[in-house]
Amino acid sequence: MSVSNQSTGYCPDVTCWPPVAAALDRLGVGRPAGFTTEIPFRRCTACAEINIVRDGDLVCVFCDADLPAAWNIRPRAPPPAWGT
Ligand SMILES: [Zn+2]
């Protein structure tokens, strides 16, 4: 798999970041209460990209680094890639 650092516009096979990030931003909390399915997010500690954990696979889809076991995304400090 080849993935560049240009994460903006890159969509995982299940969903895209912008609408999810916007929803989280509106909520102002780390819990997507409006979702019928709880999506486990993790920020990669190696490349700082946001990942959605699927099937308990704690591996960054961008750089293959291990992801933290605990939720670690801070809505107050969104990365530039989240945009507006
Ligand atoms: Zn990574």
Residue whose C-alpha is closest to residue 52's, from 80, 24, 83:
24
Question: What pTM was estimated for this model as a whole?
Answer: 0.45
Residue whose C-alpha is closest to residue 48's, from 33, 67, 35, 28:
67
Residue 78 lies in a domain: no
Residue 63 lies in a domain: yes
Residue 4 lies in a domain: no
Range in 4-8, 14-18, 67-71 the model is least confident about: 4-8
- Residue 10 pLDDT greater than 50, yes or no: no
Give residue 47 CA to ligand 1 midpoint distance, Å: 4
Residue 61 lies in a domain: yes
Residue 3 lies in a domain: no
The predicted-structure confidence for 25-44, as pLDDT tens digits, reads as follows 776 655 554 555 667 889 99
Residue 51 lies in a domain: yes
- Number of domains the chain contains: 1
Give residue 65 CA to ligand 1 midpoint distance, Å: 5
Residue 83 lies in a domain: no
Residue 84 lies in a domain: no
Give residue 26 CA to ligand 1 midpoint distance, Å: 25
* Tokens 């989240």 belong to residue: 82
User: What's the CA gap between 79 and 3, in Å, rounded?
Assistant: 18
Give residue 44 CA to ligand 1 midpoint distance, Å: 5
Through-space distance between the first and last CA atoms of the chain, rounded to whole angstroms: 29
